[in-house]
A and B are shown apart, each in its own frame.
Chain A
Amino acid sequence: MATRPDLEAVVQRARRGEAEAWETLYRSLYPRLLAYARRQLDDDRAGDAVSEAMTRAVSGIGRFEWKGAGFEAWLFGILRHVIVDRHRRAGRESRLAFATPRPVDDEAADRLIELDDARALRVAFAQLSSEDRELLHLRVVSGLTSKETAAVLGKRAGAVRMAQARALERLRGLLVGAEQ
């Protein structure tokens, strides 16, 4: 993840239309954008949604301002709308159904946390509501701050912090329940 000054510099170059800067941004943000999209779309459509989000970002960069949340939040916001559009087009409900985490080969994670704990955490996370999962994903996987997450979700930063605290409380409850 690029530091803010680095990111700002690259974004400035991207604003001037430097294709190389856009590619740098794309490559550096791609894993997190894709992970976010994969929670809501199948693999093929997730990649396509990320690509479309970048295309939209390129054509809309003139409207981006460095106030409030930063570039990443802006980009995640665009991606979120692309995903909503896809769901609408597919005739599904417009609200995002944030998928349960797929069984990925998280060996590295399993090594870091004890195997059982990791599994239990994943199971508990899957039991959270779609909103809770999306919020926690943006905070934890996408690495956004609460202010940035708020920008993506169209909420206030305070509301996001409250919602996060509640989501974590529920997650904790689910973990405790699973242990018992």
Chain B
Amino acid sequence: MRDTELLAALGQVLEAEPAEPSALEIERLHLAVSAAAAASVFSTAGPRSLRSRLARPVPVLVAAMLTVASGGTAAALTGASLPAPLRSVANAVGLPVDDTSVATAKSVMADLQAALAAGDRARIAAGAGRLRDLIGTMSGGDRARIEPSAERLLAQAAQVLGVVESPKRPGTPASETPPPPSTSAPTTETPSTETPSTEGPSSTTTETRPPSESTQPGTGEGTTESTTTPPASSEGSNTGSDGNTTSGDTTTTTAATGAEQPSTGSDGAAGTTTTTSSSSDTSTSGTNNAAPGN
């Protein structure tokens, strides 16, 4: 009898009996799948593309750090420009690289300087306008870094363009305030309508309001609230976190469901806890098992 024949005969003699997993076993499997899903075990992307990359976070992180560090250092040394995302990362990591907004402002300032040197009025006007806009959007710290030279350049630009402009402008946050200074009467109105909404200096609002508030005395609080209404419109998102009324309930419900799932998971995991803990051994060893076969 040949090997193949012997194997076939053995196969007939020892053949596995038909069997079905019990309902309980199937349920246990489903619980395990749910628990694994809750633990983000399953891959959502392709076969192993993302997972395989995430499986080695340290080398990837080191490579990213090296890239940022070398790119950032090179940029810092040579003054070359960095792509905005890389610049943000480098800046966040603490490398001596300008923040994106500062870098942009510096580049606009360089253009403006060149335009001033060339006496190109159109470019000067455009550059000055852009610089003003940029400064208006910058944070205090960033603004302070470029303020002295920006002020000087804007003053030069104003001179060339023959515009009478106060040199303090770049420093003041009210980049939009200058256009209205046409009359003195609206100035009382302007702060009540514009200023409070931007920076929220409610003191200015309440101080300026009284004249107009005389018509709506009881609305004083209402008005103050109306100042806070914009946030209230975004309250939709806040409400949930604040746990107010309906959305608060929703949040609680979600939290409850969220709590339930883990508990279900932990139930499953209770069976699974031991399982899972040992699973790492096993599946590793399972993989190890597979390794020698390669």
Contacts and interface: CB of A to CB of B under 8 A. Distances in A.
B276 to A, nearest CB: 5
A152 interface: yes
Contact of A59 (B12, B36, B287, B292): B36
Contacts of B114: none
Chain B contact residues: helix, strand, loop or mixed: helix
Interface in B255-294: 271-272, 275-276, 278-294
A40 B294 CA distance: 27
A41 to B, nearest CB: 14
A151 B293 contact: yes
Interface in B12-50: 12-22, 25-26, 28-30, 32-37, 39, 41-44, 47-48
Nearest to B24: A51
Contacts of A175: 1
Interface in A146-160: 147-148, 150-157
A67 B9 contact: no
A141 B47 contact: no
A58 interface: yes
Nearest to A69: B293
A64 B13 contact: no
B283 A56 contact: yes
Contact of A60 (B7, B16, B48, B279): B279
Contacts of A112: 12
A162 interface: no
Interface in A9-49: 12, 15-17, 19, 22-23, 26-27, 30-32, 34-35, 47
Given A17-B37, A56-B283, A62 B51 contact: yes
A104 B16 CA distance: 10
Contacts of A97: none
Contact of A58 (B36, B48, B287): B36
Contacts, number: 206
Given A15-B42, A19-B33, A113 B12 contact: yes
Given A63-B284, A113-B13, A168-B6, A58 B278 contact: no
B27 to A, nearest CB: 10
B199 interface: no
Contact of B29 (A35, A58, A101): A58
B10 interface: yes
B289 A30 contact: no
Contacts of A106: 13, 15
Interface in A58-102: 58-69, 73-75, 77-78, 80-82, 85, 101
A60 B283 contact: yes
Contact of B286 (A17, A81, A118): A81
B275 A55 contact: yes
A109 B20 contact: no
B11 interface: yes
A61 B36 contact: yes
Nearest to B288: A154
A109 B47 contact: no
B1 A172 contact: yes
Given A30-B19, A59-B272, A22 B33 contact: yes
18 contacts: A17-B41, A19-B33, A23-B30, A47-B21, A47-B25, A62-B51, A64-B283, A81-B285, A101-B13, A113-B12, A136-B7, A148-B293, A150-B292, A151-B291, A157-B293, A168-B7, A171-B6, A172-B6
10 smallest CB-CB distances across A and B, nearest first, come from A60-B283, A17-B42, A151-B293, A35-B16, A77-B289, A68-B294, A56-B279, A55-B32, A77-B286, A69-B293
Interface of A: 12, 15-17, 19, 22-23, 26-27, 30-32, 34-35, 47, 50-52, 54-69, 73-75, 77-78, 80-82, 85, 101, 104, 106, 108-109, 112-113, 117-118, 121-122, 125, 136-137, 139-142, 147-148, 150-157, 164-165, 168, 171-172, 175
